[in-house]
Chain A
Amino acid sequence: MLLRHTPKEIKERSALTVNPAKTCQPVGAMYAALGIHRCLPHSHGSQGCCAYHRSALTRHYKEPVMATTSSFTEGSSVFGGQSNLLEAIGNIFTLYNPDVIAVHTTCLSETIGDDIVQIISKAREEGKIPAGKYVIHANTPSYIGSHVTGFANMVKGMARYFPEKKAARGGTVNVIAGWCEPSDTRELKRILSVMGIDGIVFPDTSDVLDTPLTGRYTMFPKGGVTVERLKMTANSTGTLALGTFASLPAATELDARFKVGYEALDMPYGIKATDRFLDALMRMSGRMVPVSIADERGRLVDMISDMEQYLYKRRVALFGDPDQLIPMAEFLADIGMRPVYAVTGTPGNYFEERMAGILGDIPEAKFKHGDMFLLHQWIKNEKVDLLIGNTYGKYIARDEDIPFLRFGFPILDRVGHSYFNSVGYTGAMRLLERILNSLMDRQDRDAGEESFELVM
């Protein structure tokens, strides 16, 4: 057994976290910043954080992940990191020439209380920021919230630094994409374009973290939302904030500063969350959903009805980030499955409120802000038929012999998430296909020779 020390008996823990279902803020801020065109994320802390965060994202995407760091020493940790950041800004523009430097912080610079706004304005005074270039920032203390919080903070930073009010509304619609994959923002943009909507999707890591291999390396690939488009967000008809945890802070920022009304929605995973997304898009833009998308929905429903016998009442355990778990649990319930256990490491009451609503008619359902150790113990007490979560779930899946679906962040041991979308009806079809494949592969593996089926 890999996790041989995980007992069935659950002891109350108040101080010890074991096998967390979250990581810390800055990696989220780094990921979000990569969704701006020609942006270099910058980690204001000691360099270990930056190395870890770049490595985590690189392993997830199998792509270059660029970021710089202030490389604190013990001296700067005591006397403040101003000179480190000033020097970094100078070096970054000289050597790498991004259009935007997006600074985030770590537990180190937050604990010592570095004032990033002041340092950036000093950099400007000292002429370290060339004309037409931007340095934006977000405070991302690792001891508050999780990587999702860090993502949300950096996206809010985008809404804080770039938007510029014009006299007339531009007719654009803002779509704050939430924490999703390059394949997902690509799909969101496709849906908007099919509907004839001029949507500003941000952050947008498509064509940044799924670039082609051509023999020519470009530090700043063609993807990412441009500064020009981010400026326009102040003049949009409205904002759709996908994923409350990741996107609401930026949406409220735009609303407070520019009176751009918003609707907070779930990430459009599964059928109902996609329905709501399209409905909101229609209301906000006055555009209709075209037949081609209605057909996609129909094919998804068709697929569910074709295969529902394999799904009915199958028990599922999930872990990951709240914006992902909420619509995923809803989708699982919609296709007849029983999402019985859900754990997120990201704090926030909204998760438990929503899960209570979605899983109200599954009396045995447990959902909690907790860690994977607790989830494993729940599973040991009563088995599930499917486990859904990031790569770290493979240890539980192997020990308990449970079919396993990789979903969320990070996925370190498979590809696909960056290339094939999970949002929208097409994404739901892919999720459903993968769920069925895991369950049916298991049925094939376990079936006796006499009941080994050719047709399923």
Chain B
Amino acid sequence: MKRDNRTREVNPSSIKENLIKRYSAKVGKKRAKQIVINNPKSSPGQEIGANVRTVPGIITQRGCTYAGCKGVVLGPTRDILNLTHGPIGCGFYSWLTRRNQTRPENESDPNFMPYCFTTDMQDENIIFGGEKKLRQAVEEAYAIFKPKAIGIFATCPVGLIGDDIHSVARDMSEKLGINVFGFSCEGYKGVSQSAGHHIANNQLFKHVIGKNPAAPGGKYKVALLGEYNIGGDAFVLEDMFRRCGMDLIATFSGNSTYDGFAGAHHADLNLVMCHRSINYVADMIEKKYGVPWIKVNFTGADATAKSLRKVAGYFESAELMSRVEKVIEEEMEKIRPVQEDVKRRTSGKTAMLFVGGSRAHHYQELFKEMGMKIVAAGYEFAHRDDYEGRDVLPTIRVDADSRNIEELVVKPDPEQYRPRKTPEDMERLAGAGVTFKNYEGMMPEMDEGTLIIDDINHFETEALIEKYKPDIFCAGIKEKYVIQKMGIPMKQLHSYDYGGPYAGFAGAVNFYRDVDRMIGSKVWKLLFPPWEKDEPIAAMFISQV
């Protein structure tokens, strides 16, 4: 594929039209709602179809509920023994394949992350039920590993055969004297990983959060929600908070521990990074314990600075604000020269992002800092609020495929509910620009005429690349080599291509350098062998043979 350096003139409407044309009428109608030409200024309040069932056979990027629950939310916690109840695959594929790093303080501290625990269900367990084997497996796990908590994760067949993992969990909890809890995260629930996030949130809230009554010390206590320490992101942020003088008492769930979860309700402010996966816990903690939450984004240097100022603003402390400003200034000083250098090569280049439920938005900050343009973006499994902003929440209809995901009814805790701010405080802060419990979504921040595609599939990806010829495409491992075969650099924004960290100030620099390297890589100039470059001569030669 020949590529030129100019942004190509494309007409998103005709692209959309051509895509839809190729589908059957039924599929076309559905996809038409999930493909939007973004016009935040000329037609605000545009609606996108999202969180709806996947079209069979279309080659989706999506995974399942188990992946969202066990793989994403619980996977990064080192001292809960995660036991998959199912045949061997689910446990195997979620074994060390997400790069949630963890750093136990001592050599003797528990860390189960390099292990895969599973009941490895056999046909007789399907026929006669697997509860007995599950009980036995929990006993064996306890006898060998002595964990402080065990999580049990259901897979597809568990729901069908009617194994009651929750009663097993209750019994074993009593018998062993440790916290054992189950997650009904069968893969077929909901329409994507998203249902798994919700189920994980509910069970963590019911069984773990609030269990630790001892409040940790600290003046500016925050918890970070929806940060999974991919490639060490959370380490960067932990260090940053420390330098700012903030006390990070829990992270959901990068580099996290059971005790961190259990005491998370002692925070004075919750910071939500990945809105999709953890907004449920943020809301429930606010209702039960009175801890407000704000949306933050620590992806990108400017976004990080902005988020830090927001946090300091919330605490209304001049001391904290001045430390924050000092950290920002020190960091920006290091970042600017790199930015300037990189920009000479990246300015004006184009990118596309089709990632999960959060990064397709967050990473736009980093590209903008490099002078790059986002021409198309979308999520695998986000909901309308992640696209359009939380204002649309009341208008979202839960369809038949997601109706069975439990909604917990949460009330203020009679003893532990403690509003961190008075209504007057909140109003004053809102006036000063600290917006609570709000997320504006991806679409309003993207340019006019960009393409927003929900649950993009292979067919659409290929067409998009052919039309736009972006300078870089961001998605995951399944897309990576497809895109690269087309001669387009492809950045994995799930695994970071085994690099990173990309969060915070230090991470931003890593990202600039990686993207600069990828776009400028000499390999893209090696695609065509010399005998093909000289096409006319070769053709003449062959024609004369």
Contact = CB atoms under 8 A, between A and B. Distances in A.
A17 B485 contact: no
B115 A3 contact: yes
A17 B118 contact: yes
A64 B24 CA distance: 26
B87 A143 contact: yes
A88 interface: yes
A74 interface: yes
B107 A112 contact: no
Contact of A215 (B159, B191, B487): B487
A16 B141 contact: yes
A4 B111 contact: yes
A11 B92 CA distance: 22
Given A47-B64, A48-B67, A217-B482, A77 B156 contact: yes
B414 to A, nearest CB: 36
A44 B459 CA distance: 20
Interface in B174-227: 186-191
A256 interface: no
B88 A91 contact: no
Contacts of B112: 5
B123 A3 contact: no
B115 A59 contact: no
A51 B62 contact: yes
A136 to B, nearest CB: 16
Given A74-B401, A84-B56, A16 B458 contact: no
A47 B89 contact: no
A217 B93 contact: no
Contacts of B393: none
Interface residues of B, number: 93
B263 to A, nearest CB: 24
Contacts, number: 256
Nearest to B195: A74
A213 B144 contact: no
A38 B64 CA distance: 27
Contacts of A159: none
Interface stretch (A92-100, A298-306, A324-332, A443-451): A92-100
Nearest to B485: A217
A380 interface: no
B486 A216 contact: yes
Interface in A1-58: 1-5, 7, 11, 13-20, 22-24, 26-27, 42, 45-49, 51-56, 58
B115 A18 contact: yes
Nearest to A221: B485
B291 to A, nearest CB: 33
Contacts of B144: 5, 7, 11, 13, 16
A65 interface: yes
A70 interface: yes
Contacts of A84: 56
A146 interface: yes
A91 B486 contact: no
Contacts of B171: none
Contact of B86 (A18, A76, A107): A107
Interface in B89-105: 89-97
Interface string B436-479: 00000000000000000000001100100000000000001110
B60 A69 contact: yes
B57 A17 contact: no
Contacts of A19: 95, 115-116
B485 A211 contact: yes
A179 B156 CA distance: 27
B54 interface: yes
Given A4-B107, A7-B144, A87-B55, A72 B188 contact: yes
Contacts of B522: none
Given A48-B187, A111-B126, A88 B57 contact: yes
B357 to A, nearest CB: 14
Given A20-B120, A55-B478, A64 B485 contact: yes
Nearest to A213: B485
Interface stretch (B7-15, B132-140, B298-306, B502-510): B132-140
Nearest to B400: A75
A244 B303 CA distance: 58
Contact of B191 (A14, A73, A92): A73
Interface of A: 1-5, 7, 11, 13-20, 22-24, 26-27, 42, 45-49, 51-56, 58-59, 62-77, 84-85, 87-92, 94-96, 106-108, 111-112, 141-144, 146, 211, 213-219, 345, 373, 392, 395
The 4 A-B pairs at the shortest CB distance, nearest first, are namely A48-B64, A88-B57, A24-B89, A15-B136
Given A16-B117, A111-B161, A215-B2, 9 more contacts: A5-B144, A23-B88, A24-B89, A52-B67, A52-B90, A95-B59, A108-B160, A111-B160, A144-B123
21 contacts: A1-B107, A3-B114, A4-B111, A11-B140, A17-B120, A51-B478, A52-B94, A65-B478, A67-B59, A71-B62, A73-B191, A74-B404, A75-B400, A77-B156, A91-B24, A96-B459, A111-B160, A112-B160, A143-B121, A211-B485, A395-B114
